Amino acid sequence: MHSFIHTKNGVQLSSPAYQTVQQERENQVSKPIQIRLLSEQETAKLMNTIRFNFLSPTRCISCGNTSGFERQVFWIGGVPKAEQNSDSIHELIAYHLKKSHGVESVFFKTQHNKFYVDSAKCKRCASTMIEFDIEFSDEVLA
């Protein structure tokens, strides 16, 4: 995790703004970012929350399948609220998930002050390049 942060920093040394952000992060004795795949039970619980499930898997980009997705949700720790919308943090986490979990396509969500990454796997072809979209169910419209 840390070696990746430093590599990235090295690439962007020419940007003073970026250096300042990075410096502040280091000064905070920044906690390492933690990533944990939620259990099936924890995932099922979150899926019952309309707000969390508002954006959900609709189509497999690889095979065109539109139903039957295995949901993979990761809990992310060690990212302060102010950084949870940061593109560089998103890139860093997406990169890590791709490398360590083979997840190609991720969506960042917050729920009850917790920070999550939502992703899905196609049950037909096992691809993780899945399109997510907003699904209007009766519950949401009610």
List of residues contacting Zn ion (CB under 5 A): 60, 62-63, 65, 122, 124-125, 127
Cβ proximity of 46 and 73 under 8 Å: yes
Q: Please, which residue, 35 or 129, has the CB nearer to Zn ion?
A: 129
Q: Cβ 33 to Zn ion, closest distance in Å?
A: 29
Q: Cβ of residue 120: shortest distance to Zn ion, in angstroms?
A: 10
- Helix, strand, or coil (residue 141): helix
Q: For residue 55, report the phi and psi dihedrals to the nearest 5 degrees.
A: -100, 115
Q: Which residue lies nearer to Zn ion by CB, 65 or 110?
A: 65
Name the helix (H) or strand (E) containing 101.
helix 87-101
Instruction: Please provide residue 135's backbone torsions phi and psi, each rounded to the nearest 5 degrees.
Output: -110, 125
Q: What is the closest distance, in whole angstroms, from the C-beta atom of residue 135 to Zn ion in the complex?
A: 18
Q: Exposed, middle or buried, 128 (CB in 10 Å: 0-12/13-18/19+)?
A: buried
Residue 134: CA count within 13 A, CB half-sphere: 5
Cβ-based nearer residue to Zn ion, 46 or 120: 120
Q: Which is nearer to Zn ion, 30 or 58 (CB)?
A: 58
Shortest approach of Zn ion to residue 59 CB, angstroms? 9
